[in-house]
């Protein structure tokens, strides 16, 4: 007679195998959603606003599909690929809001973990820096100033949090982007003064 309850280990094996299959699907959907969100950001930088909106909607649609397909498995929301996709969607949606002079606020398409939202928000100053570089190239100092002002507002709000680990790294990246934006603004002011 065996001392081990093999029926129980068989159930565990089946459950783990089932979740491994689900996890692979989550990684694929999440990777596709992340790709669409990145494409949305690139489209915004190129002034392709309709493409950007469509890509954000595609990314959100993939996440909604995941939620519907695996609503019995809330643990998918802890998968790294899933969180990375949501973070990129947040960044794309907030940057889109900035480009169209809308309030940068929580996304309404689906529920997003607070830390994931904050990580996406921390990435926005980096996009504002890239957007400001393009504006500076086009001698658009108003847009550069708006980018800097928005990045500082985001940073000021983020300073109220006591970030550790991953979010602290993201926070420091936001701080670096603001420093670069300040340099761009300074150089524009010198150029305007000397012309």
Task: Give the pair of three-digit tokens for residue 20.
Answer: 């491994």
Q: Cβ-count burial of 175 within 10 angstroms (0-12 exposed, 13-18 middle, 19+ buried)?
A: middle
Q: For residue 193, what pLDDT band results from cuts at 50, 70 and 90?
A: confident
Q: What is the mean pLDDT of residues 56-66?
A: 97
CA distance 32 to 24: 12
Please list the residue range(s) of the chain that carry CATH number 1.20.58.200: 113-195
Q: What percent of the chain has pLDDT over 90?
A: 81
106: left (phi over 0), alpha (psi -120 to 50) or beta: beta
Architecture per CATH, domain 113-195, reads as Up-down Bundle (1.20)
Task: State the pLDDT at residue 1.
Answer: 60
- Of the candidates 58, 57, 69, 64, which has an alpha carbon nearest to the alpha carbon of residue 23? 69
Encoding tokens for residue 99? Answer: 């480009």
Q: Give the global pTM.
A: 0.91
Domain 1-100, CATH:
1.20.58.190
pLDDT computed for residue 96 by the predictor: 97
Domain(s) labelled CATH 1.20.58.190 in the chain stretch across 1-100
What's the confidence (pLDDT) of residue 5?
81
Give the chain's mean pLDDT: 94
| pLDDT greater than 90 at residue 88 | yes
User: For residues 99 and 185, what is the distance between their CA atoms, to the nearest angstrom?
Assistant: 18
């Amino acid at each position: 007679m065996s001392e081990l309850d093999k029926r129980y280990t068989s159930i565990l094996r089946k459950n783990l195998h089932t979740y491994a299959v689900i996890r692979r699907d989550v990684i694929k959907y999440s990777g596709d959603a992340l790709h669409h969100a990145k494409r949305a950001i690139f489209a915004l930088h190129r002034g392709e606003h309709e493409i950007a909106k469509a890509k954000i909607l595609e990314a959100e649609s993939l996440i909604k599909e995941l939620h519907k397909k695996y609503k019995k498995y809330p643990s998918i929301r802890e998968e790294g690929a899933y969180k990375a996709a949501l973070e990129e969607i947040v960044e794309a949606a907030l940057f889109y809001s900035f480009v169209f002079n809308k309030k940068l606020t929580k996304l309404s398409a689906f529920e997003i973990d607070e830390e994931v939202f904050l990580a996406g928000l921390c990435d926005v100053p980096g996009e504002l820096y890239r957007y400001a570089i393009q504006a500076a190239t086009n001698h658009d100092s108003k847009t550069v100033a708006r980018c800097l002002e928005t990045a500082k507002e985001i940073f000021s709000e983020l300073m109220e949090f006591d970030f550790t680990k991953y979010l602290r790294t993201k926070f420091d990246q936001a701080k670096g982007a603001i420093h670069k934006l300040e340099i761009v603004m300074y150089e524009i002011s010198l150029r305007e003064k000397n012309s």
